[in-house]
Amino acid sequence: MVKIERVKGTRDLLPEQMAKRRYVFERIREVFELYGFNEILTPTFEYTRLFQLRSGEEVVNQLYAFRDKGGREVSLRPDLTSSVARLFVNQFQNAPKPVKWYYMANMFRYEEPQSGRLREFWQAGVELIGSANVEADAEVIALMVESYLATGLREFTVNIGDRLLLDEFAKMLGVDDDIGLMRLIDKKDKMSREDFIASLRDFGLNDGAVGKVLSLIELKGKPDEVLPKAYELFTSEVAKKELKKIEELFELLKAYGAYNYALIDFGIARGFDYYTSIVFEAIAPNDLGIGSIGGGGRYDNLVEVFGGKPTPATGFAIGIERLIPILESKGLLPEVALRPDVFVVYIGRDLEIRLKATEITQVLRKSGIKAEYDLQGRKLRKALDHANRLEVPVVVIIGRKDLAEGKVTVRDMKTGEQRAVEVEKVVGEVRRML
RNA sequence: GCCGGGGUGGUGUAGCCUGGUUAGCACAGGGGACUGUGGAUCCCCUAGCCCGGGUUCAAAUCCCGGCCCCGGCCCCA
């Protein structure tokens, strides 16, 4: 026999898991819409060129890329930001600003699966296009905070950094390979201080520069303690302006009520090289080996890269497969009952009785009661056994004797109490018992 | 792409080191004992050694390769 397994890095989602996921998606969706974001969906695959344009040739290694029968080079989407930017350029450049979109969709990245990382995974995200104001950054960061809160999560922080400041920092140190430096800085938490210093030296920094990097990564915490030091470290006008922006951002977050969850961490670079200014990532403490549970930032030149008018934009995405296990481990996901409310059982195989069972099941369903009847044709004893296993609270028993008097039997499976009721009163009786 | 640990019915496992009955057990599933009353008991049935190759008289067991899972690295758009 041929056994076909799942493709590496993919998951089957079973009813219990789907119910929980749907719960999480719904909570997030409510908040997204409350903030005035509207749902969109773009194709699952795009021209590979779209993703190359944004991030260069190297990225193709992590794409699910293939050639279709028409010879087109296409790729499954690794995220939705590129597609959104394409859509915006194609059709929405003249739409009233800002454009506020959200999505909940699956993404594909060809990487080695490990904790919190699959090859197909889902993200719930938003993009806010057309505003360069810090209010837009604050709006999406506050929305991200509210989204996590809506799922019941309380222990998390949104750590905020700034790519522009990192660029300024690299310039200040006279480093040409600013991306390389950022990658190094991004890894600071993964190694010891000594190893970090050693790798900075390997990178070619002198003692003074290493010291500056060390003071940069010290810039973590609440703005009132971090910003004064930051103003000392950064000297350029551009940097000072950006710091002023961060200062305002946190004032705005106070007004949004999201301040308590926000921290500065100027060591955050985030991988995506299209980010241009404020970037952020959400972290929730856990012992599951899961790092960030979401991230985002400002990408002011992506639209232009895709051939549009220069248009500022910002957004974020929440990693569902990272969020859910954390919620689960904290007991924040509701138990969902997949069982029916009523199980209808009939006695004997007479067509007349079977038809009656079907009709009564439909009547129950029409009145909004989750009802099933025994499609397997079990004998009464087995049927009750089955209902018990399903943990169905109420069973309706339909048999010739009762029916002769126009009645059926309604049984409470917990107490074992039961009574014969008129067929027309079944719905009322069942509802009373639920 | 690299490194480490794994893979036995649907699920959880025993057996593997030290090759040798019909691969055992539990749960789940189907049927029956029991013809209008469940949660119990008993009986029967269904169903498995990830795939391929090698060694051997003989492979779930030893060896090689692949696939997949768990974790880490790289990378993380």
Q: Determine the pLDDT at residue A165.
A: 93
Q: How confident is the model over A342-390, as pLDDT tens digits?
A: 999 999 888 999 999 999 999 999 999 999 999 998 999 999 999 999 9
Measured CA A317 to C1' B19 distance, in angstroms: 55
Q: Of A77, A163, A84, whose CA–CA distance to A127 is shortest? A: A84
Q: How confident is the model over A93-102, as pLDDT tens digits?
A: 999 999 999 9
Would you say A168 and A239 are in contact if contact means Cβ atoms under 8 Å apart?
yes
Is A15-329 a domain of CATH 3.40.50.300?
Answer: no
Domain ranges, ordered by start, for chain A: 15-329, 342-433
What is d(CA A149, CA A144) in angstroms, rounded to the nearest whole number? 9
Superfamily of the domain at A342-433 = Anticodon-binding domain (3.40.50.800)
Measured CA A1 to C1' B52 distance, in angstroms: 14
Nucleotides of B under 7 A from a protein CB: 1-3, 28-32, 34-39, 48, 50-51, 67-77
Point out the nucleotide closest to A404 (alpha carbon to C1′).
B36
Q: Determine the pLDDT at residue A337.
A: 81
Q: How confident is the model over A320-333, as pLDDT tens digits?
A: 999 999 999 898 99
Measured CA A389 to C1' B27 distance, in angstroms: 13
Measured CA A400 to C1' B11 distance, in angstroms: 40
User: Inter-axis angle of helices A223-233 and A237-256, to 10 degrees?
Assistant: 170
> Interior CA angle at A413 toward A407 and A416, to 5°?
80
Is the predicted pLDDT of residue A59 greater than 90, yes or no?
no
Would you say A431 and A394 are in contact if contact means Cβ atoms under 8 Å apart?
no
**Buried/exposed code over A244-281 (b: 16+ C-beta within 10 A; e: otherwise):** ebbbebbebbeebebbebbbbbbbbbbebbbbbbbbbb
Is the predicted pLDDT of residue A147 greater than 60, yes or no?
yes
Point out the nucleotide closest to A274 (alpha carbon to C1′).
B77
The ipTM estimated for the assembled molecules is: 0.87
Q: Is A433 exposed, middle or buried (0-12, 13-18, 19+ CB in 10 A)?
A: middle
Segment A244-263 shows an average pLDDT of: 97
The chain-wide mean pLDDT, for chain A, equals 92
Measured CA A111 to C1' B52 distance, in angstroms: 26
pLDDT level of residue A18 (50, 70, 90 thresholds): very high
Would you say A361 and A331 are in contact if contact means Cβ atoms under 8 Å apart?
no
Say how many C-beta atoms besides its own lie within 10 A of residue A170's C-beta.
18
